[in-house]
Amino acid sequence: MSLRAGVIGAGVMGSGIAQSLATGGIDTVCTDISRDALASAREQVQTGRFGFERAIQRGKLSQEDAEAAFARLTFTDEFDAAANTDVVIECVPERLDLKVRIFRDLDAAAPESSVLASNSSGFPIAALSAATERPTRVIGWHWASPPVIMRFAEIVVTQETDPAVVRRVEEAARACGKNPIVVQDAPMAWGYVANRVYFAMLREAQRVVDEGVASPEQVNALMVDCYNWPVGPFAMIKGAGSGWQ
């Protein structure tokens, strides 16, 4: 599709998001202040569990399509290269002060027409938009781990988000094979929809363990067997934090 994307942060989520965008036909620039992180991201995209080589082996991508997708990917430590795109997705660690600073920097560096999106797990999008001079062009685009596999696309809008911005992000999400669901920002609660429901479940799962009813491994197995989840609640925490092995 005729769209260029930038990804700020080359960690577990950032590299996976960049790979997903490139596979969806979107020219993508992924940046990080750490050259080691960039090198690791490039390796994961090529040879990691959900990288292009494994996708070819599993018959998910042809050699030709994988090579074309990788050619659409650029890894760089130049912030402005990622900012100078149509849609920029912030994927830095989950610290509000850091995200606010990134959005201020993006507001200064990105073209006026650029959409500024956050992959925050639950911080108010209104707080990030308030750090910019373009609140109508700020949106939440929350991905799930691993980004290459999960169809999840929680699109979070504020009262000021331009409907045209929502449509552009929905279009990009669909190009990546995702299922965009648009929800409202809720500044008084952390987690939007998916994480609010998930953490309510996790609190109860921890109570079960603390009361000696079952071990974490047993809880994981029971939830997978009963509800057909890909992994249990405790396994999800590990995978989302440190990557899927």
Is there a domain that residue 215 lies in? Answer: yes
- What is the percent of the chain where pLDDT is above 70? 96
Average pLDDT over residues 236-245: 60
- Looking at the structure of the chain, the number of domains it has is 2
Write the pLDDT tens digit of every residue in 97-115: 999 999 999 999 999 999 9
pLDDT of residue 244: 47
Say if residue 146 is preceded by a cis peptide, omega within 30 of 0. Answer: yes
pTM of the model: 0.93
Q: What is the mean pLDDT of the chain?
A: 95
Domain span at 214 = 194-242
- Asked, for residue 189, whether it belongs to a domain, the answer is no
Task: With beta carbons less than 8 A apart as the criterion, state whether 84 and 2 touch.
Answer: no
- 20 plus 71 within the same structural domain: yes
CB 87 within 8 A of CB 114: yes
228 within a domain of the structure (yes/no): yes
Q: What is the pLDDT of residue 69?
A: 98
Q: Of the candidates 184, 205, 220, which is a domain's last residue? A: 184
Pairing assessment for the beta strands 115-118 and 27-31 based on DSSP bridges: unpaired
CA distance 178 to 6: 18
Judge if 43 and 106 occupy the same domain.
Answer: yes
